[in-house]
Amino acid sequence: MKLYILGNTNDDKGTQLEILTKEMLEKQGYSNIAGNVIVSGGSEFDAVASYKMPLATNYIEYQVICECKAHSNPINITDWMKFIGKVYVEKLKNDHTTGLMIALSGANGNVIGSYNEIKDRGLVNLMVGDDIIEFLTKEYNLTSAQSIESYVKRFTDKSISIISLAYYDQAIYWIVGFIEGGFTVLKKNATQLNSKELEIIVELLDKNTEYTGYIDIEQENEARNRRINIEKVALSILMDASKPLSIDKVFAQYEDITTQKSNEKATKDEIGNALRNNSFAIESEEKYYLKEFDIDSLIEFFKYIYSEILPVRLLGRKWFSEKINEELFTKVLDIQCKIKVSEKQRRECLFLIKHSPSALAYAIHPDEDLTRYRSPNGTTIAENVDKGHTQMFVQKLTDLFIKDFHNQALHELYFSDYGIFDVRIEQTLTILNEGENVLSIVNNRNMSLGRLDKEFGNQIILISKLPED
C-alpha cells in the first residue's frame, strides 16, 4: 500500500510530512517537539524532540533528531551519509541522541545495506512508507483496507485496482482507484467528506498523484438504483397490460403509481430509455410489451427481478403470480439437482415460493450445500442423504416465508395482494442425552397483520396475538 503526503507545492509536502512526524513523536511520548531546528555548527533538522527519563532526583534526557524526505524517489546514499554525519556530531554533545530518517518513498539498496550494518548500534533509525502506514493504522484507529473494500463494494460494481492512503492537514484519507478509471475518497473511518474538504483533497490528489476522475460512489449508486427502479416499475406496468402500450400510456400509469413518492418520479424519456435498453421488453411500432418466455428465459427474468432493487409493486402482479406454477417448480427441482419431493411437499413448496419473494429468489439459484453432494441427474451417495436434502430444502423455504412475513416492507403485499393475514408458528425443541429425553420446549406463536386507522397512515402492522389461556 502506498502513502501520499499531499501539498500544494513540494515545500508544502515537506511541511506536511514534518507535521506528521511531530504528531508521531507526540503519540510516542516525546515532548519539547520543535521543527526546523538549527543547531550550533549550522546543521538544520526538520524536527527535534526529547524524552526525559526520571533518575533519582534528576533525569536523563533522550533526544531524537529527525529528517523528513517527502520525495517521490527513494533516498540515496548521499542523503543518508549526510544525515548520519549530522547525527554523529549531535551524539558527541549528548550521548543519548538518536537519529530518525523518515523517507516516504523508501531508500535505495545502498542505503538499506548501510542501515542494516549499523541499526543495532542505536545511532539511527530508518522509517519508510510501510512503517509509517503501520504506525498510522495503530495510532489513528484506521479502518482496515478490507473494510474499505467491503464498504466501496456496497455502492459500486466497479473493480478496485488499488487502495492507498493520503495525509493532509492532520487528517488521513483512503483513496480507492478503479480498473475502469476514476477514484473515490473516504475518511479514515470510511465516511464521506464534506463538500469543502472534498474539493481541497481532490485538487491536491490531481496535483500530487496519478489519480484522476473523482467518482461519488454513493451518488452514483443512488442514480443507478433509481434507474433500476424505473426499469422494474415500467416492466410491472407491461405485466398488467393486455396489449402493447405506447410510451405515453406507460408514462401516465407510472405517474399514477409514483404520485406519492417524489424520489421515484421519472421523465417520459427516462422510462422510454429504460424499456428500450431492457432485454425483457420488446418495442414494436413505438409500443412496448413483455417478451415471450420459455422456462429458461423465465428463470433468467426472475433472477434479474430479484437482483438489486426490487419494487414491491412488481411482486403483486397477477402475471407474476401466474408464472410461478408447476412448470417453474419442476425447473427449480432441476436447478437443485433433481431433489425429490412428495406430492404433498410439492404443493407446499409451490405455495411457499409463490408467497415468499425470498423463497423464490433462493430456489432459482443452486444451493451449493445441497448440489455439491448431488449429481445433475439427482444421484446421491445414499437414500437417507437424498431425504436429508429434501428436508433441508423444505425447511429453507419455510424459514424464508416466515422471515418475509415479518418483513415490514412486505406487509402490504401479504395483506392486500396475497390475502395472508394470520400465521401460526409451532416449535418444539427436544434436548436428548444418549437417546433419553432431557427437556422439551414447546413454543407456539400466532402472528397477524392488521391495518391501522387513517390517522396512523393506514399502515399495515404485525401483531403478536396473546395466548387465550
Report pLDDT digits (tens) over 88-135.
Answer: 888 888 788 888 888 888 888 998 898 888 888 878 888 888 888 888
Q: Are 8 and 119 within one domain?
A: yes
Q: Are residues 181 and 232 in the same domain?
A: no
Enter the pTM of the model.
Answer: 0.70
Q: Confidence class of residue 455 from pLDDT cuts 50, 70 and 90? A: confident
Instruction: Specify whether 95 is located in the same domain as 60.
Output: yes
Q: What is the DSSP letter of 107?
A: B
Q: Rounded CA gap, 198 and 331, in Å?
A: 51
Helix (H, G, I), strand (E, B) or coil at 279: coil
Domain encompassing residue 228: 216-311
Last residue of a domain, one of 260, 286, 311: 311
Helices (H) and strands (E) in the chain, counts: 18, 15
Q: Please check whether residues 241 and 301 belong to one and the same domain.
A: yes
How confident is the model at residue 260, as a pLDDT?
54
Print the SS3 string covering 16-71.
Answer: HHHHHHHHHHHHCCCEEEEEEEECCCCCEEEEEEEEEEEECCEEEEEEEEEEEECC
State yes or no: pLDDT of 254 exceeds 80. yes
Residue that has been written with the C-alpha cell 547525527 in this structure = 87
Whether 387 maps to a domain, the answer reads no
Would residue 345 count as lying in a domain? no
- Using CB atoms within 10 A of its CB, is residue 372 exposed (0-12), middle (13-18) or buried (19+)? exposed
Q: Which of 48-57, 199-208, 271-280, 458-467 has the lowest mean pLDDT?
A: 48-57
- H helix or E strand, kind and range, residue 288: strand 287-290
Check whether residue 211 and residue 221 sit in a common domain.
Answer: no
**Same domain, yes or no: 122 and 169:** no
In this predicted model, what pLDDT tens digit does every residue of 125-173 receive, in sequence order? 888 888 888 888 887 788 888 999 999 998 988 999 999 999 998 889 9
Of residues 187 and 21, more confidence is placed in 187
68 in any annotated domain: yes
CA-to-CA distance for 175 and 204, rounded, in angstroms? 12
Q: What is the mean pLDDT of residues 47-76?
A: 78
Q: Which of these three, 136, 166, 192, is where a domain ends?
A: 136
CATH number at residue 94: 3.40.1350.10
Kind plus residue range of the DSSP H or E element containing 118: helix 109-118
Residue 378 lies in a domain: no
Residues 330-340 pLDDT 10s: 999 999 999 99
pLDDT of residue 181: 92
> Does 345 have pLDDT greater than 80?
yes
Does the residue 391 lie in any domain?
no
Same domain, 202 and 110: no
The model's pLDDT over 266-304, given as tens digits with 9 standing for 90+, comes to: 899 999 999 999 999 999 999 999 999 999 999 999 999
Whole-angstrom distance, CA of residue 251 vs CA of residue 363: 33
pLDDT at 40 over 70: no
Mean pLDDT of the chain: 88
* Among the ranges given (43-47, 196-200, 219-223, 282-286), the one the predictor scored with the smallest mean pLDDT: 43-47
Q: Per the domain annotation, does 410 fall within a domain?
A: no
pLDDT average, residue stretch 20-30: 80
> What does DSSP say about strands 460-464 and 436-451: parallel, antiparallel, or unpaired?
antiparallel
Q: Which helix (DSSP H) or strand (DSSP E) does residue 327 occupy?
A: helix 326-335
94 and 11 within one domain: yes
In a 10 Å sphere around its CB, with 0-12 CB exposed, 13-18 middle and 19+ buried, how is residue 307 labelled?
exposed
Residues 29 and 132 in one domain: yes
CA 192 to chain centre: 14
Q: Are residues 221 and 191 in the same domain?
A: no
Residues 12 and 119 occupy one common structural domain? yes
User: What is the structure's pLDDT at 42?
Assistant: 64
CA 458, CA 450: separation in Å to the nearest integer? 10
Identify the domain boundary among 311, 327, 358: 311
**Average of pLDDT values for 250-277?**
83
Number of domains in the chain: 4
Domain of residue 278, CATH code? 1.10.10
d(CA 172, CA 190) in angstroms, rounded, equals 11
Q: Is residue 117 part of a domain?
A: yes
Q: Say if 365 falls within a structural domain.
A: no
* The three three-digit cell numbers of residue 170, written as one number: 492532520
Of 94-98, 350-354, 434-438, give the range with the top mean pLDDT.
350-354
174 and 224 in a single domain? The answer is no
Higher-confidence position of 367 and 58: 367
Give the separation between CA 209 and CA 207, rounded to whole angstroms: 6
